[in-house]
Amino acid sequence: MITAEKVMKVMTDHRMADRGDRIIIGVSGGADSMCLLFLMSEISESMGFRPEVIHVHHGIRGKSADEDERYVKEICERLKISVKSVHVDVPSFAEKEGLSEEEAGRILRYRIFEEEKPDKIAIAHHSEDSAETLLFNLFRGTGLKGLAGIQPVSGKIIRPLIFFSREEIEEYCREKGIRYRTDETNEDLSYARNRIRRSIIPEAEKINSSALKHILEASERIGEAREFVENAAEELFLRAADLSEMPKRLVLKGEQLKGSPGILKDSVVKKCIVRSAGREKDITSLHVKETEMLLDSSSGKKISLPYGITVRNNFGDLVFSREDKEGGEAYPEVPLLIGDEEEEISGILPDGQIFKVRLLEKTDNIPNLAYTKWLDYDKIKDGALWRTRRSGDRISIQGGSKKVKELFIEEKIPREERDSIYFLADGSEAVWIPGMRIGHKYKVTEETKRVLRVSLEKGSQS
């Protein structure tokens, strides 16, 4: 049976909480989350963290959802734990974004948790959830990452129950006399995960009663293998990829890839495509395989990939470039995405630089760093993105503004380099030109409510 001592050991072994942490607990009212709520309440004083509860009303189940909300509030009041309930319209969001209600609900929940700016977010995933995730990813197509199941810690997301089974959770609730709500949508087999849970896993257990246990053991081994492969692939990438001409082009040295296992080649080639595109979305295993086939083709042969990327065989090396409609070299734009559900957003610019973004509460302690800046988030109106200069770009200064071109001249930037410098832009205004200045209107002031911390660092060079 689950005990407070066992959960404390899991949290300690996996460094899930520090003393003084404010931990948001996602509580739906079901057995899993109620078990987590009571356990976190029981151990909070000993471990020195402050628990708070968020309940998300998805706008799907009518009166049943209203009763879930009332019950969670009632229990939190009894436990003397702060609770906040948030109503969202999952069906509308799913339709608007072209998502399943399952995925839409997950996105909105994590978005709400992040908006509270906690130190940690505790989620009641258990061992069967991890197994279901592995199978779900396997069926729809995935790599090692998807086969590693659900990890105990992902950024600020912690899962104290991940090593315990659903049976153990329900036993804990029975022993402690904890009532819980039942979500009738858990029986709806139109949801893919429900079909895996209700149909596929029971059939697997008819073949071997320990099937679930073996899936979880495999997931753990795959996680270890994934870490090993990622480290090896990064070492190979550093040897084989020439980034010296980024963002104009990236050269992958074919000679360095010879004799490498296919799984490492796949990883390195994908890294090159993502670096060239400036984003990972829509880059598939098919694109990776098509690119690898070029290694065995004749010099001069080329293929086209998403985002206008062209890959050409140049005497055994692969040359990645991005062309505009006129056929010249282009500098792709990279949107500044904000608010990942698990950790701070990071991305790669086409010139190899790595950026990291995080939305924070206002702070008075803002150090003066060249490549990390704190910006007034609410002043950014048009959706910031990383790009190179355009005609008419300006940057605000105290008392007015000046052309970005003029600033480059003042900073003695060589003419041939000016069109390849990436900076953060909001429409036609420069928000931050790294190494030079922040636009005056975007600086943090006494009126600032939300701060956007943005950092930039050089990517690995071969």
The whole domain housing 135 covers 4-222
Cα dihedral 435, 440, 444, 445 sign: positive
- What mean pLDDT comes out for the span 167-187? 87
Same domain flag for 94 and 38: yes
At 252, give phi and psi (nearest 5°).
Answer: -105, 120
111-125, 146-160, 281-295, 357-371: the lowest-pLDDT one:
357-371
**Distance, CA of 322 to CA of 327 (rounded, Å):** 9
pLDDT band at residue 339 using 50, 70 and 90 as cut-offs: low
pLDDT at 368 over 80: no
How many domains does the chain contain in total?
3
Q: Is residue 328 part of a domain?
A: no
Per-residue model confidence (pLDDT) at position 355: 85
Are 314 and 346 members of one domain? no
Q: What percent of the chain has pLDDT over 90?
A: 41
Domain end (from 298, 322, 346): 322
Q: Which of 322, 347, 374 is the C-terminal boundary of a domain?
A: 322
Let me know if residue 234 belongs to a domain.
Answer: no
75: CATH: 3.40.50.620
Tell me the CATH number at 276.
3.30.465.60
Q: Quote the radius of gyration of the chain (alpha carbons, Å).
A: 25
Asked whether the predicted pLDDT for residue 338 surpasses 90, the reply is no
Residue 171 pLDDT more than 90?
yes
pLDDT at 358 over 70: yes
| 369 and 301 belong to one structural domain | no
Task: Give, for 22, the enclosing helix (H) or strand (E).
Answer: strand 22-26
450: confidence class by pLDDT, cuts 50, 70, 90: confident
Q: How far is CA 249 from CA 238, 311, 350, in A?
A: 16, 10, 9
171 and 248 housed in the same domain: no
Among 64-73, 116-125, 323-332, 342-351, which is the least confidently predicted range? 323-332
The pLDDT value recorded for residue 461 is: 35
Strand pairing report for 50-57 and 22-26 = parallel
Contact 48, 20 (CB under 8 A): yes
Q: Show the tokens assigned to 365.
A: 């302690």
Model confidence at 356: pLDDT above 70: yes
Query: 307: alpha, beta or left, given left = phi > 0 and alpha = psi -120 to 50?
Result: left
Cut 0.75: pTM above it: no
The DSSP result for 165-214, as a single string, is -HHHHHHHHHHHT------GGGG-TTSHHHHIIIIIHHHHHHH-TTHHHH
Look at 183 and 239; give whichever has higher pLDDT: 239
- Taking residues 203-208, report their average pLDDT: 92
Same domain for 47 and 155, yes or no, is yes
Q: Are strands 22-26 and 120-122 parallel, antiparallel or unpaired?
A: parallel
Q: What is the pLDDT of residue 331?
A: 65
Name the strand (E) or helix (H) holding 56. Answer: strand 50-57
Residue 94 placed within a domain: yes
Residues 408 and 380 in one domain: yes
pLDDT (average), residues 246-262: 88
Decide if pLDDT at 94 tops 50: yes
Q: Do 188 and 281 belong together in one domain?
A: no
Mean pLDDT (the chain, rounded):
86
